A = this chain, B = another copy of it.
Amino acid sequence: MSKYQNIKEECFRANMQLPELGLVIYTFGNVSMVDRKHNVFAIKPSGVPYETLTPQDIVIVDFENKIIEGDLRPSSDTKTHAHLYKSWSNIGGICHTHSTYAVAWAQAQLNIPIFGTTHADHLTTDIPCVPPMKDADIQGDYEKMTGKQITDYYTTIGMSPTEIEMVLIANHGPFTWGASVEKAVYNSKVLEELAKMAYLTLQINPKSEKLKSTLIQKHYERKHGKNAYYGQ
């Protein structure tokens, strides 16, 4: 039995959550999970429908995009995942979807404003929308450059991947990650809900103001701060 059997199965289960959570139709998404001991990650094969996906279909790839184990071609977004795992040593899983409301904000090329405590329970800033890529990068190593676009943007805005675990790529859609693959998928579902809430907020009141900083700090700290008292 493969030494990657466990992450294949966990990666499979995480992928299967996407249709259950209403985040994808057909093959519009992929989840990966890293194995930091062996510097490889497990990822969904490209274009395989969720209804027929099995744990054995999951592909094991290293950070240079070399297939280590598996009979199928990995997700076409594999190089984006590889770049993120290589650049950010503290993330354990990555999730990419084309969920409806998150894509709409990405297509509108706008950050999702922080309007409420539901948002502040997860991050203290707007959800960033990374601007469109330069033509030379699109025509070059596109999927790798998508990853580099994200990491460069985080450097520019001075944020770490643990501070903001969700991002929109302009005209494309969301990528989310987390310490675990379950957290990465969780963040995709939360992002979609925040995207819908922010959309409705602006439809109801186009002059809606962002959450004030004391409430942002309070809600973020009670869940993630040193003296957090949310959860068990």
Binding site for B on A (CB under 8 A): 25-26, 28, 45-48, 72-73, 76, 98, 100-101, 103-110, 115-118, 132-133, 135, 138-139, 142, 171-173, 186, 189-190, 193, 196-205, 208-209, 211-212, 214-215, 218, 222, 229-232
Contacts and interface: CB of A to CB of B under 8 A. Distances in A.
Contacts of A48: 232
Contacts of A118: 28, 98, 103, 173
A117 B173 contact: yes
Given A116-B103, A171-B117, A232 B45 contact: yes
A218 B140 CA distance: 10
Most buried by B among A115, A193, A204: A204
Contact of A142 (B142, B202, B208, B218): B218
Contacts of A197: 100, 103-104, 107
Given A25-B193, A104-B197, A212-B132, A116 B171 contact: yes
